[in-house]
Amino acid sequence: MASDEENGHERTPLLHQARLSHLQHEQDEEASSVIASTVTKEEQQLAESPVGERLPYNDYTTIDWLHDLVKDSYRYRALHSHPGLRYKLLTLLDASSGWLAVVVIGALTACIAFLVDIAVVTVSDWKTGYCSGHFLRNREDCCVAVEKSPSLFMMKETGEECADWKVWSEDYKSSFAIYVAMAMAFGIISSSLTMLTRSTLPSTSSSNPITKNASNGHTTSPSSSASASNNPPTTPTVQGKTMYLASGSGIPEIKTILSGFSIPSFLSLPVLIVKSLGAIFAVSSSLCLGKEGPFVHISTCIGHLTGRLIPKYASNGRKMRELLSAACSAGLSVAFGAPIGGVLFSYEEISTYFPRKVLWRAFLCSLTAAMVLKELNPTGTGKLVLFESRFGDEYNAIHYFVFVLLGVAGGIFGGLFCKFNFLWSKWFRAFGVIKRYPVLEVPSGVIIPALDAGAFFGRLVGQAIGSISPGIFAMVGAAAFLAGVSRMTISLAVIMFELTGQLSYTVPSMLAILTAKWVADAISSEGVYDLAQSLLSHPFLDPDTALSIVRRHKACVEVLIPPQRTMDDITVHVPTSNKVALTLLKEKLDALRERGLMDAGLVLVQKNGGGVEVLQGYISQSELEFGLTKLVPGVLVSTQEDDVQVRLLGQEIDEPTSPMNLEMDLTPFVDRTPLSICAKAPLEYAVEMFSKLGLRYLMVTKEGTGQLVGVIIKKRLVGYLEHLREHGEGD
C-alpha cells in the first residue's frame, strides 16, 4: 500500500493547493482540498486511497460532441451511397425528420398546456366551491353569469343560472379556513407527487471489486485470492447523488444537459406526467409561482421522448441536444403566449450549442405550439396575448430617467435576491430534517415573484409621477426586476411586448432591462439559474464564464494533469505486437469503475525507436466495458481467460497466433486520433477546445518531444474552474 509521503506527492491542484506551506497542520491541508460542495467527505478519502483521486461531478456522464459529429457523418454517407428510388425516399425522410419532429413536439406541448390550463382553472376554483352535478367544471363554466362580491372568498348568485355552483360555506370565517386548508392541501399534493420522482444517479462501482494486497502491492480479485479476504478494501462506499427529478423549474438541469452532460431519467415519461400534475396543483395552491419554468421542462421531456423514436436522434447525443434546444422554445411559447420570445429564451438562457439549423427548427417548433394553443383557446379569449394592455399615453424624454431608475431598482433587487437566496438555500438545506424530508421546503417560483414585485414597485413610482398611466411603469418595472433576477435581456424584452401587446413600449423595457443587468452583475455575477446549478452541484461549462475565470489566473494546461498514480491506472503500455492480455484490461476496467468516473478511459502508449512512450490511441470506459462484457463471454466458452490476447492497435505487425491462445479485436473501439495539447499551452486553449469543440477528453503532451504526460477529461476542467471561482481566483 502506498505510503502517506507518496500520497502527498500525488495531490493535484484540483484537490489540494500546491502553494500550501509545509508548516500548516495536516488537517488544514485536508480542509483546503474540498472544492465547494462538489466533493463529499467520502470522496476526499478516496483521494488518499489506493484507488486514486476521485473527481467532482462523478455521477454525471458526458457526451463527445466531436465524435457524435463524425458518427452522424458516417450515417449520412452510408444513407446517400445507395442508388434507387427507395433510398432517395429514405434520404428525403431522413432530411425532413427533424422538421417533422419539431412540429410534433410543438403540437404535443400545446395540447398538454391546454389540459394544464383548463385543470388549473377548475382545481383553483375548488377552493371556494364546486359545481353541483358537474364536479370537473370550473365556476365560469358552471355559471352563466357570476359577479364577485367585495369579499375575496365569497360570491353571490346573480340568478337561476348560477344555482349549480355551491360554495363550501356561507360564513366568511369558515370559507376562509376552507380556502387556506385546500390551498395547503394542493401544495402538499404537488410536493408529494414530486417525491415520487426520487432517483439516485448511477455511481460506477465494480461488481467484482479489486483490492490491494498489502504484502506485494499487486492488484487482485477477491475471488481469485484467499488472502485478499483478510485484507478488506479501505475504499469507502460512495453512493450516487440523490435527486428529485420533477422538483423546481427544471431549467438548471436542462442547461446542464444541453451543455453536454447527462442526467438519467430526467426527461422520462414518468417525470413528464408528474411534472404536469404537479404544476396543476402547485399553481392552484395560490402560492407565488407559475407554470412558466415547468412548461420548459415539460416541452423538453416531449422533445426527448419524440427524439427517441427517431434513430438518428436516439443514437446520437449531439443530434438529440439539437432537438432538445428546439423543444425548449415551445415551453415558454405556450407559457407566456410568446413564440418569438420562446426561441430567444432557448438561445440566450438555455442552450450552449445553437447553430442556425437549430434556430430555424426552434422557430417552427415555437410557432406550431403557439398556433395549436390559439386554436385550442384555453383562456376563452381566442388570443395568445395574456395581459393585453392599452395605456393610451406616450412617454417623454424626461421619463427615460425614470426607466433607468426602475432598472437600477430591478438590478439591486435581482442582485440581492440571487445572493441571499443562494446563502439561505445553502444554510437551510444543511439541516438534517430538510435533507431527509425535502417536502418540508415547498418551492416558490422565480419568474412570477419577480414580475409581481417589479410591477408593484413600478406602479408606485408611476402613481407618484402622475403625468402618464402608472401601468406603463408597472410593465417596465416588472421587466427590470425579472432581468435582475434571471439576467435575460433580448428574450425578456421580446417576451414583455408579446405578453402585453405593447410594442411601442419596447424601448423603455430595453433600457430598464439593460440597466438592471449591469447593476445586478455588479452585486452578484451570476443569475438565479446559474446559482441554482452551483447549489445543486450540476456541472456546467460555459465558454464565456470559463474564460472570465481563467483570464486573471496565469496558468498552463499542466495544472490539470492528473497525479502519477492516476496516470498509471489509466495507461496501457502496448507492446510491439499490438496485443495485451485480457486480464490486464479487466484489471484496468475495474480500476476505472472504482474511481467512479463513468466516462473516463484508457490511454494507449507505445515506445518508439528512441525509447519514448508515444501516444497511440484512447479507448473510452463505456466502449471498453461493452467490448469486454459483450464480446469476451463468447470467446471464453472454449478457452481460459489468461489465454485471450486483445488486439488494440490494428495489424501493423502480423505475428502468428499460438494455437494455445485466442485473440479478440477491439481496434474498432479505439480512437487512434485523439486531440492533444502541449502541457505548456495557456489554460485558455484547453477551455476553448473543451467548450467550442465539445470534447470529452484531451491528451496532454510534453513540449518538444510529443511524449504523453497526461489526460484531461471534461469533469476535471469543470471541477478546476469551480475551484477557482469558489476561492475568488478568477473574477
Tens digit of each residue's pLDDT (9 = 90 or more) over 481-513 = 999 999 999 999 999 988 888 888 889 999 999
* pLDDT tens digits along 715-724: 888 888 888 8
Q: Is 494 within 8 Å of 501 (Cβ atoms)?
A: no
Q: Whole-angstrom Cα distance, residue 360 to residue 730?
A: 36
Rg (CA), the chain: 30
Find the range with the poorest average confidence among 158-162, 424-428, 602-606.
Answer: 158-162
* pLDDT tens digits along 11-20: 344 433 333 3
* Residue 160 pLDDT exceeds 60: no
Q: Which three cell numbers stand for residue 589?
A: 476496467
Return the H-helix or E-strand segment holding 531: helix 528-535
Mean of pLDDT values over 290-294: 87
* pLDDT tens digits along 184-240: 999 889 988 998 998 887 665 434 433 333 333 333 333 333 333 344 444 444 566
In this prediction, residue 490 carries a pLDDT of 93
What is residue 710's three-state secondary structure? strand
What is residue 620's three-state secondary structure? strand
Q: Is 710 within 8 Å of 561 (Cβ atoms)?
A: yes
* Residue 54 pLDDT exceeds 70: no
* Residue 33 pLDDT exceeds 50: no
Angle between helices 470-486 and 490-500 (to 10 degrees): 150
Q: Is 295 within 8 Å of 329 (Cβ atoms)?
A: no
In this prediction, residue 590 carries a pLDDT of 84
Q: Which three cell numbers stand for residue 695?
A: 470534447
Mean of pLDDT values over 382-400: 80
End-to-end CA distance of the chain: 41
Q: Looking at per-residue confidence, does 18 or 428 come out higher?
A: 428
In this prediction, residue 450 carries a pLDDT of 92
What is residue 539's three-state secondary structure? coil
Q: Is 574 within 8 Å of 652 (Cβ atoms)?
A: no
Q: Looking at per-residue confidence, does 394 or 272 come out higher?
A: 272
Angle between helices 356-376 and 85-125 (to 10 degrees): 50
Mean of pLDDT values over 673-677: 90
Q: Whole-angstrom Cα distance, residue 642 to residue 662?
A: 10
* Phi and psi at residue 665, to the nearest 5°: -110, 115
Q: Looking at per-residue confidence, does 414 or 2 come out higher?
A: 414
Find the range with the poorest average confidence among 119-133, 205-219, 668-682.
Answer: 205-219
Instruction: Find residue 129's DSSP bridge partners.
Output: 167
Q: Using pLDDT thresholds of 50, 70 and 90, give the confidence band for residue 268.
A: very high
Cα distances from 192 to residues 84, 127, 246, 277, in angstroms, run 56, 19, 11, 11
Q: Whole-angstrom Cα distance, residue 260 to residue 656?
A: 44
Q: Whole-angstrom Cα distance, residue 615 to residue 635?
A: 29
Taking the CA atoms of 54, 57, 59 and 65 in sequence, report the sign of the dihedral they define.
negative
Q: Is 421 within 8 Å of 444 (Cβ atoms)?
A: no
Q: Looking at per-residue confidence, does 441 or 358 come out higher?
A: 358
* Residue 477 pLDDT exceeds 80: yes
Angle between helices 85-125 and 65-80 (to 10 degrees): 130
Question: DSSP state, 162?
Answer: G
What is residue 156's three-state secondary structure? strand
Q: Using pLDDT thresholds of 50, 70 and 90, give the confidence band for residue 400.
A: very high
* Phi and psi at residue 671, to the nearest 5°: -85, 105
Q: Using pLDDT thresholds of 50, 70 and 90, give the confidence band for residue 147.
A: very low
Question: DSSP state, 622?
Answer: H
Q: Is 331 within 8 Å of 297 (Cβ atoms)?
A: yes
* Residue 350 pLDDT exceeds 60: yes
What CATH superfamily classification does 86-128+172-197+244-376 receive?
A: Clc chloride channel (1.10.3080.10)
Cα distances from 561 to residues 175, 198, 535, 537, in angstroms, run 67, 36, 27, 23
Q: Whole-angstrom Cα distance, residue 726 to residue 35?
A: 8
Q: Is 723 within 8 Å of 36 (Cβ atoms)?
A: yes
Work out the percent of the chain whose per-residue pLDDT is above 70: 79
In this prediction, residue 266 carries a pLDDT of 93
* Cα pseudo-dihedral 693, 694, 698, 704, rounded to 10: 10
Residue closest to 96 by CA, chosen among 360, 400, 280, 384: 360
Q: Whole-angstrom Cα distance, residue 363 to residue 333?
A: 10
Mean of pLDDT values over 338-364: 92
* Cα pseudo-dihedral 210, 214, 216, 220, rounded to 10: -10
Mean of pLDDT values over 561-574: 87
Q: Looking at per-residue confidence, does 121 or 612 come out higher?
A: 121
Class assignment of domain 557-726?
Answer: alpha beta
Q: Looking at per-residue confidence, does 546 or 367 come out higher?
A: 367
* Residue 61 pLDDT exceeds 70: yes
In this prediction, residue 44 carries a pLDDT of 42
Written as one letter, the residue type at 442 is V
- The residue written with cell numbers 449531439 in the block is 318
Three-state SS for 604-631 is EEEECCCCCEEEEEEEEHHHHHHHHHHH
Q: Looking at per-residue confidence, does 84 or 147 come out higher?
A: 84
Q: Using pLDDT thresholds of 50, 70 and 90, give the confidence band for residue 157.
A: very low
Q: Which three cell numbers stand for residue 264?
A: 438519467
The widest CA-to-CA distance across the chain, in whole angstroms, is 100
Q: Is 35 within 8 Å of 47 (Cβ atoms)?
A: no
In this prediction, residue 408 carries a pLDDT of 97
Return the H-helix or E-strand segment holding 590: helix 582-595
Q: Using pLDDT thresholds of 50, 70 and 90, give the confidence band for residue 580.
A: confident
The per-residue pLDDT of the chain, averaged, comes to 79
What is residue 556's three-state secondary structure? strand
* Residue 154 pLDDT exceeds 70: no
* pLDDT tens digits along 93-110: 888 999 999 999 999 999
| Alpha carbon of residue 549 to chain centroid | 20
Q: Which three cell numbers stand for residue 224?
A: 481469485
Q: Whole-angstrom Cα distance, residue 422 to residue 720?
A: 21
Mean of pLDDT values over 576-580: 84
Residue closest to 256 by CA, chosen among 60, 416, 69: 60
- Listed by start position, the domains of the chain span 86-128+172-197+244-376, 131-167, 399-538, 557-726
Return the H-helix or E-strand segment holding 61: strand 61-62
* Residue 368 pLDDT exceeds 80: yes
Strand order in the sheet with 644-647: 579-581, 644-647, 662-665
Find the range with the poorest average confidence among 146-160, 280-294, 479-493.
Answer: 146-160
Q: How many degrees, rounded to 5, is the angle at CA 234 between CA 229 and CA 235?
A: 120
In this prediction, residue 716 carries a pLDDT of 87
Q: Which three cell numbers stand for residue 116?
A: 394544464
206 Cβ contact list (under 8 Å, min separation 6) = 590, 593, 594
Q: Looking at per-residue confidence, does 262 or 38 come out higher?
A: 262
Cα distances from 237 to residues 174, 208, 454, 600, in angstroms, run 54, 14, 49, 19
Mean of pLDDT values over 449-460: 93
